[in-house]
C-alpha cells in the first residue's frame, strides 16, 4: 500500500492550506494510501481528520529547521518508503514577518521549509522506487520572479510580491527536482489549485474587499465559478490528487499543472491587480519554468539552509 506524506500548515482560522490539505488527505485515503499529516498543532488538526482512515498526525513547523529535521528523522527511522510527498503548506500576504534566521516568512515557509523537508526525506523517496513530489503553487506566481538581489525584502516589503516570489519558487523547485532526481524514479510537479478565498488563505483581507473582488456573495458565502478559478476546497484539491496519482503523468515531470492537466506556457506576461476581480491566468509564466533559474534557486536555497 503506498504511503503518502501530506504537509499541512496552520494559521489563524482554517487556512486554504488546511482545507486543501484536508481534502487531499481524504482523497488519497479513499484511494487506499496511508497518510502522514504534518501540522504545527496536531491536537488542532486531529478533529478535522477524525474518521479518515489510515491517517497519522505528527508535529511539523516549516519555519523551524530543527522541527523539520526532527520530523524527517522520525519518518526515516520508521523504515517506510515514501511514494508521494505533497508540499501543501502556504501563507499569503500580510505584514512582514521574519523567522529566527531573518528570512522573510513566506519564502521561508512556502519554499525553504518544503525544500529542507524534501531533501530530508530523500532516502524514503528513493526507497519507494517510484515517487512523486507535488508542490502546491498558485497563479500568483505571475506577481514576481525570484528577487535574486533581495529575496528577503530588506530594502522594502510588499506582501503580495513576497507571495508571488514564493509561488514562483514552488514551480522552479519542481522543475529542478525533476531534472536532478528523475533518473532515481522521483518526479516533481507544481500545482495551481485555483482560488478558494472562503478557505481563509489571507485572513487579513476584509469581507468587504472579498465582496468587491466577487469571491464571496452578499451573505458572505464563497462564490463557486471554476471558469474564474473560484473553486470549492474539494475542486481546488483535485489537481493535487491528479499530480500525486494519475498514470497520465507517468512520462512527464517538472511541469506546472492546472485543472487536472499540464498548463501551457503563457505567450505574453500576465498581469494581476490584487484587489480587483480575479483574472484567470491561462498557464505558467516563462520565469517560473526557466531551467537556469531553477538550478540557481536550488543552489541559493542550499546556501540559505546552511546559513
Rounded CA-CA distance 163/64 in Å is: 19
Q: Per-residue pLDDT tens for 39-48?
A: 999 999 999 9
Chain mean pLDDT for the chain: 89
207, 216 contact by CB (below 8 A): yes
Active-site annotation holder among 75, 103, 163, 256: 163
81-124 pLDDT tens trace? 999 999 998 899 989 999 999 999 999 999 999 999 999 999 99
In the chain, the number of structural domains is 1
pLDDT tens-digit series, residues 269-296: 666 655 555 556 789 999 999 999 999 9
CATH of the domain at 75: 3.40.50.720
Active site residue 163: yes
Nearest to 285 by CA among 253, 260, 256, 259: 256
Percent of the chain beyond pLDDT 70?
A: 87
Distances (CA, A) of 263 to 101, 104, 191, 192: 35, 29, 9, 9
Distance of alpha carbon 65 from alpha carbon 30, whole angstroms:
32
Strand, coil or helix: 307: coil
> In the prediction, which pLDDT does 214 show?
74
Model confidence band, residue 11 (pLDDT cutoffs 50, 70, 90): very low
Tell me, letter by letter, the H, E, C secondary structure of 195-211: ECHHHCCCCCCCHHHHH
pTM of the model: 0.91
What is residue 20's predicted lDDT score, i.e. its pLDDT? Answer: 87
Domain residues for the domain of 164 are 3-306
Residue 186 pLDDT > 50: yes
pLDDT at 7 over 90: no
pLDDT number for residue 272: 63
8 phi, psi to nearest 5 deg: -125, 165
Amino acid at each position: 500500500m503506498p504511503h503518502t506524506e501530506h504537509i499541512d500548515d496552520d494559521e489563524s482560522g482554517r487556512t486554504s492550506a488546511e482545507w486543501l490539505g484536508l481534502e487531499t488527505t481524504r482523497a488519497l485515503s479513499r484511494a487506499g494510501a496511508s497518510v502522514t499529516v504534518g501540522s504545527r498543532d496536531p491536537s488542532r488538526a486531529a478533529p478535522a481528520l477524525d474518521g479518515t482512515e489510515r491517517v497519522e498526525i505528527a508535529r511539523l513547523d516549516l519555519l523551524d529547521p530543527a522541527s523539520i529535521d526532527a520530523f524527517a528523522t522520525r519518518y526515516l527511522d520508521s523504515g517506510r518508503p515514501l511514494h508521494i510527498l505533497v508540499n501543501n503548506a502556504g501563507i499569503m500576504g500580510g505584514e512582514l514577518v521574519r523567522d529566527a534566521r531573518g528570512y522573510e516568512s513566506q519564502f521561508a515557509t512556502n519554499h525553504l521549509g518544503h525544500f529542507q523537508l524534501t531533501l530530508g526525506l530523500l532516502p524514503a523517496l528513493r526507497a519507494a522506487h517510484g515517487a512523486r513530489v507535488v508542490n502546491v503553487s498558485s497563479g500568483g506566481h505571475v506577481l514576481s520572479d525570484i528577487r535574486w538581489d533581495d529575496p528577503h525584502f530588506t530594502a522594502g516589503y510588499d506582501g503580495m510580491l513576497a507571495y508571488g516570489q514564493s509561488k514562483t519558487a514552488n514551480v522552479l523547485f519542481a522543475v529542478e527536482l525533476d531534472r536532478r532526481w528523475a533518473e532515481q524514479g522521483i518526479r516533481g510537479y507544481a500545482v495551481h489549485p485555483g482560488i478558494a478565498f472562503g478557505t481563509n488563505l489571507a485572513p487579513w483581507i476584509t469581507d468587504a474587499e472579498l465582496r468587491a473582488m466577487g469571491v464571496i456573495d452578499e451573505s458572505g458565502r464563497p462564490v463557486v465559478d471554476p471558469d474564474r478559478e473560484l473553486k470549492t476546497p474539494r475542486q481546488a484539491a483535485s489537481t493535487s490528487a491528479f499530480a500525486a496519482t494519475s498514470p497520465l503523468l507517468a512520462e512527464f515531470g517538472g511541469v506546472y499543472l492546472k485543472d487536472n492537466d499540464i498548463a501551457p506556457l503563457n505567450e505574453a506576461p500576465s498581469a494581476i491587480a490584487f484587489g480587483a476581480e480575479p483574472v484567470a491566468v491561462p498557464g505558467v509564466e516563462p520565469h517560473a519554468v526557466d531551467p537556469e533559474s531553477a538550478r540557481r534557486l536550488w543552489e541559493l536555497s542550499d546556501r540559505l539552509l546552511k546559513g
